[in-house]
Amino acid sequence: MRTVLIHWKKQNETEIFSNLKYFCLSYPQYNYNTLNNYLSKEKIPYENETIRVERKHVITKPRLPVREVISKRSIVPVLRRVPLKEAQDDIRDWQYWLSQPVAKRAEAVTFLVAQMMRRGQRMNKKVVNKVKMRQ
């Protein structure tokens, strides 16, 4: 994708247009055909004492190859490989949840219960025993 970069020399300002037609509609003193012929054939900017008009490409892809970007990652994936019989994930899970504060455990239980219920369904509280938790 190309854009049109306009540099006003006297005001030291820059404008960007998505195409040459919109620039010429905004500034009727500049002829579209003249600018288009100049910019497309010679591939050099049109320039006079007040203005410099040039086409620039918009960068739409990363400049670095994908492999270099991936190798500079700051997040490293964590992987634990053990035989299934030796994994003991239930013990690890139990130790993790015991290390968490009571409020976080209660939030997790509420989240799991909410996932199991349909929209508008309420929990049957006759089955649940209410126990006051200490913080």
pLDDT, tens digit, for every residue of 61-117? 776 666 655 566 667 777 888 898 888 888 888 999 999 999 999 999 889 888 888
What is the mean predicted confidence (pLDDT) over 34-38?
84
> Quick check: pTM over 0.85?
no
CA 52, CA 9: separation in Å to the nearest integer? 7
Structural domain containing residue 9: 2-57
CA 20, CA 43: separation in Å to the nearest integer? 14
Tally of domains in the chain = 2
6 and 48 in a single domain? The answer is yes
Specify the pLDDT at position 99: 94
Does the pLDDT at position 118 exceed 70?
yes
What is the mean predicted confidence (pLDDT) over 31-37?
86
Specify the pLDDT at position 55: 87
